[in-house]
Chains A and B, each alone.
Chain A
Amino acid sequence: MTRHDDRFDLVTLVVRAREGDIDAFESLVDRYETKLLRFCLRTLGDRQDAEDVVQDTLVQAWKSLNALSEPAAFGTWIYRLASNKCTDMLRRRMARPSDAQDPDDMSIHPDGRASVEKSVEARTALQHFSSVLQTLSSEQRVAWVLHQMEGLSYAEVAATLGISEGSVRGRIHRARTAVMEGMEGWT
């Protein structure tokens, strides 16, 4: 089996990988690694953290494939594992004072609202946008990235995160409102 081998459908690859077929698992890695890395990069905004999460996600997937009752749901399942790890990573950052960014550096007031006056020092709208994203809760940020950047519908985000569609709508609405407010004067 070579990289990007498409002779085998997803279910076949998952069933074979579950039984220790390393070639099949390698093919799954080839199919999902770039997508997962892109999602984690956008969610975490840090290359090293994103690579760590992708590595942990796929190694955990290998070890716990037996827990996946429906092989066809591998895509949703693997994104759920990655989403949970991203959420944990964001929570850990917030919980560790050494990792928390200085509000002045971020040009964000402690109440979470962006200050355009302070942000004037920022070089670009992109930097300001990145700092606004950091004001979102970890749950809002994951849901918003899945929806806004990865293109998933509300129902798909709900299935991925294992929560109700109503909760997804709420998280994305609050995230969108915070981003709009944070970017006021920048667009």
Chain B
Amino acid sequence: MDMNEHVGSGAEPDQTNDDLQRESDAQLRGVIDEYMATFEPEPEDTAGVRERILQLVRDDLYRGPSTRLQTEHGHPFSISTAAVRSIVRRAVDSVDGIRARSVDVEPAGEPEGSAATVSLTLAMRAGISFAPTAEAIRGAVSAAVLSELGIPAVRIDINAEDVYVD
């Protein structure tokens, strides 16, 4: 159930309280409407709250987990797991009709971290042909991981879990 969908859908009639509800709604409609209007947020009310929320979330994100990888010369480095996922998501989103959902990047290779395996789920637009699109996704992800992390993606598993209509 999405509150987007049911907010404003109207109160469901209750057989047992029907009369009382109709009577109270009619009698109190004016004052309830006035009360609701009084407590209607203005855009400036939400702006400050929004910024405080996002600042707290950014602070929390900085404390998030890291993924340990290695350069081609064997030098280890760590990078925020959220940042690694973001690189992959951007590559997936760049493919027409594809929206990345879940992304998992695990260190692989020998020594570990010299390569990566990628697992991702996605939603695809209705009418898209999966096989050629999957190859386009693999190409985009592989290129992004190599150029931005400096390591090859030796395996890219793709699971199309949903279809959407524009």
Answer whether A63 and B60 are a contact pair too, CB < 8 Å, given A9-B123, A148-B32, A186-B31: yes
Is B12 an interface residue, CB under 8 A from the partner?
A: yes
Chain B 19-39, CB within 8 Å of chain A: the 1/0 string? 011011001101110111011
Q: Which A residues are CB-close (under 8 A) to B80?
A: 20
A16 touches B89 (CB 8 A): yes
Question: Is B2 a contact partner of A76 (Cβ separation < 8 A)?
Answer: yes
CA distance A98 to B47 in the complex (A): 31
Q: Which residues of A contact B (CB under 8 A)?
A: 7-12, 15-16, 18-22, 25-26, 29-35, 37-38, 41-42, 45, 47, 51, 54-55, 58-59, 62-63, 72-76, 78-79, 125-126, 129-130, 147-156, 159-160, 169, 172-173, 176-177, 179-180, 183, 186-187
Q: Which residue of chain A lies nearest to B17 when distances are taken between CB atoms in the complex?
A: A173
Contact of A129 among B20, B35, B57 (CB under 8 A): B35
> Is A33 in contact with B49, judged by CB distance below 8 angstroms?
yes
B78 neighbours in A (Cβ, 8 Å): none
- B35 & A34 in contact (Cβ 8 Å cutoff): no
Given contacts A22-B58, A29-B53, contact A11 B3 (CB under 8 A): no
Asked if residues A34 and B46 are in contact (CB atoms below 8 Å), the reply is: yes
Asked if B64 lies at the interface with its beta carbon under 8 angstroms from chain A, I say: yes
Query: B35–A42 contact, CB under 8 A?
Result: yes
CB–CB B1/A176 < 8 A: no
Cα-based distance from A53 to B57 in the complex (angstroms) = 16
- B interface bracket (residues with beta carbon within 8 Å of A): 35 or more
What is the minimal beta-carbon distance from A9 to any residue of chain B, in angstroms? 6
| Chain A interface SS verdict (over half) | helix
**Is B148's beta carbon under 8 Å from chain A?**
no
Contacts of B57 in A (CB 8 A): 22, 25, 59, 62
Q: Which residues of A contact B89 (CB under 8 A)?
A: 16, 21
Write 12 A-B pairs (CB below 8 A) sorted by A numbering.
A19-B102, A22-B57, A22-B58, A47-B45, A51-B45, A129-B35, A150-B8, A151-B9, A153-B11, A160-B3, A180-B24, A183-B31
Q: Which residues of chain B are within 8 angstroms of A25 by Cβ–Cβ distance? A: 57
> Contact between B82 and A21 (Cβ–Cβ < 8 Å)?
yes
A37–B7 CB distance below 8 A: no
| B14 interface residue per 8 A CB criterion | yes
| Selected contact of B41 from candidates A38, A72, A176, CB within 8 Å | A38
Assess whether B20 is in contact with A176, with CB atoms less than 8 Å apart.
yes
Q: Which one of B4, B58, B121 has the highest number of Cβ atoms from chain A below 10 Å of its Cβ?
A: B4
B153 an interface residue at 8 Å Cβ cutoff?
Answer: no
Q: Name the residue of chain A whose CB is nearest to the CB of B43.
A: A34
Do the beta carbons of A72 and B27 come within 8 Å of each other? Answer: no
What chain A residues lie within 8 Å of B10 (beta carbons)? 151, 153
Tell me, rounded to whole Å, the shortest Cβ–Cβ distance linking B146 to chain A: 22
